[in-house]
């Protein structure tokens, strides 16, 4: 079994679109949407849930005024300035400032503060026309997305072992934050989807540096390469310098948008288009070049 994570420096580069297109090309594969903060792979995969669970996220604290003796110890020690006094002189905790460290709960002599974890997050195991997918939904403003990514990846590996899948393909989150780091650990390879812009090159440099810190093989696809030939050349030069194979150059094509409106991948909607042919070539190269997991 091999596992690959598809990444991009920011949202909107075509990462999820490329991941979805691989769904028609990869056989015996489990898909995993690691972009738990804004998951959207399911919009094209149209999954049918077969299992779901609640993920407990960050902590939040509540101050019970009937128990409070106004000693002020909690205000003195709160490092996030989250505890205040209202017009009645009562203490209260501002939920937007509270970081859930639970120090106030531990030091309150009257036991007037309690904490609980948020349950406004869910994970799913679903079946699709491409096979199994594991994905999740985080509520607005929720924390610990990196830990949720770790959970959905664990579920995906369990599904892959049950079905004896050959591949796990992760649709990673944009950027280089905690969720991206959680998407990278232990994978066999990273596929970067880049765009030919000045900021796109900067984003790629950060991603490559991160992936290299994990000693993970990196491959690349340049999306909408024909929108700026000069920037595409700069990307190609950078990838060549870093010895990163560019597996495909995808042209701009309105069929890509039309396929998403139709709820299909580009390789389903326009199998003979230049994008589809390039993606087929890229997948053949990935299947040939990505090493198996070390044991």
pLDDT tens sequence across 116-169: 998 889 999 999 999 999 999 988 877 778 899 999 999 999 999 999 999 999
pLDDT reported for residue 90: 93
Share of the chain above pLDDT 90, in %: 79
Summarised one tens digit per residue, pLDDT across range 90-112 is 999 998 899 999 999 999 999 99
Of 73 and 39, which is predicted with more confidence?
A: 73
266 near 24, Cβ under 8 Å? no
Q: Mean pLDDT of all residues in the chain?
A: 92
Give the C-alpha separation, 105 to 247, whole Å.
54
* pLDDT score recorded for residue 293: 63
As a whole number, mean pLDDT of residues 76-82 equals: 95
Q: In sequence order, which residues have a C-beta less than 8 Å from that of residue 252 and are 6 or more positions away?
A: 224, 226, 227
Q: Are strands 48-54 and 218-223 parallel, antiparallel or unpaired?
A: unpaired
280 burial via Cβ count (<10 Å: 0-12, 13-18, 19+): middle
Tokens of 28: 């015996």
Tokens of 260: 């998403």
Distance CA 129, CA 46 (A): 8
* pLDDT tens readout for residues 218-263: 999 999 999 999 999 999 999 999 999 999 999 999 999 999 999 9
Q: What is the pLDDT of residue 9?
A: 86
Within the chain, all domains assigned CATH 3.40.50.300 are found at 2-56+120-289
pLDDT at 294 over 60: no
> How many CB atoms sit inside 10 A of residue 110's CB?
14
Within 10 A of 46 (CB to CB), how many other CB atoms are there?
Answer: 12
With contact defined as beta carbons under 8 Å apart, do 16 and 45 qualify?
Answer: no
Cα separation, 102 vs 107, in Å, equals 9
User: Which part of the chain is CATH 3.30.70.20?
Assistant: 59-117
How many CB atoms within 10 Å of residue 216?
Answer: 17
What region, left, alpha or beta, does residue 111 occupy, with left being phi > 0 and alpha being psi -120 to 50 degrees? left
Distance CA 175, CA 172 (A): 9
User: Can you name the residues that pair with 107 across neighbouring β-strands?
Assistant: none
Q: What is the pTM of this model?
A: 0.88
CATH architecture of 59-117: 2-Layer Sandwich (3.30)
CATH no. for 2-56+120-289: 3.40.50.300
The distance of Cα 63 from the centroid of its chain, to the nearest Å, equals 34
Amino acid 111: pLDDT: 96
Q: What is the secondary structure of the chain as a DSSP string?
A: -EEEEEEESSTTSSHHHHHHHHTTT-SSEEEEE--TTS--HHHHH--EEEEEEE----EEEEE-TTT-----HHHHH-TT--EEE-TTS-EEE-TTT-----HHHHH-TT--EEEEE---EEEEEEEETTEEEEEEEEPTT---HHHHHHHHHHHHHHHHHHHT-SEEEEEEEESSSHHHHHHHTT-SEEEEEE-SSHHHHHHHHHHHHHHHHTT--EEEEEETGGG-HHHHHHHHHHHHHTT--EEEEEPP-HHHHHHHHTT--HHHH-TTSHHHHHHHHHHHHHHHHSPPPP-
């Amino acid at each position: 079994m091999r596992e690959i994570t598809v990444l991009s420096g920011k949202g909107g580069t075509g990462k999820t679109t490329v991941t979805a297109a691989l769904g028609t090309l990869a056989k015996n594969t489990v898909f995993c949407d690691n972009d738990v903060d804004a998951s959207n792979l399911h919009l094209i995969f149209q999954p049918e849930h077969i299992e779901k669970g609640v993920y407990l996220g960050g902590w939040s604290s509540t101050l019970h005024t009937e128990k409070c003796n106004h000693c002020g110890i909690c205000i003195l020690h709160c490092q996030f300035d989250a505890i205040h006094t209202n017009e009645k002189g009562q203490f209260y905790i501002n939920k937007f400032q509270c970081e859930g460290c639970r120090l106030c709960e531990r030091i309150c002599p009257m036991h007037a503060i309690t904490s609980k974890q948020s349950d406004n997050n869910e994970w799913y195991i679903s079946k699709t026309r491409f096979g199994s997918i594991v994905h999740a939904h985080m509520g607005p403003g929720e924390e610990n997305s990196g830990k949720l990514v770790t959970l959905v990846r664990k579920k995906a590996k369990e599904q892959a072992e049950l079905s004896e899948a050959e591949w796990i393909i992760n649709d990673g989150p944009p950027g280089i934050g905690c969720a991206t780091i959680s998407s990278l650990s232990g994978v066999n390879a990273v596929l970067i989807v880049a765009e030919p812009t000045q900021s796109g090159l900067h984003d790629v440099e950060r991603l490559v540096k991160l992936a290299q810190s994990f000693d993970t093989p990196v491959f690349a696809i340049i999306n909408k390469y024909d929108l700026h030939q000069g920037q595409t050349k700069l990307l190609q030069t950078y990838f060549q310098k870093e010895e990163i194979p560019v597996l495909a150059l995808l042209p701009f094509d309105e069929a890509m948008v039309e396929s998403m409106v139709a709820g299909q991948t580009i390789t389903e909607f326009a199998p003979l288009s230049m994008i589809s042919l390039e993606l087929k070539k890229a997948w053949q190269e990935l299947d040939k070049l990505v090493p198996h997991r070390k044991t």
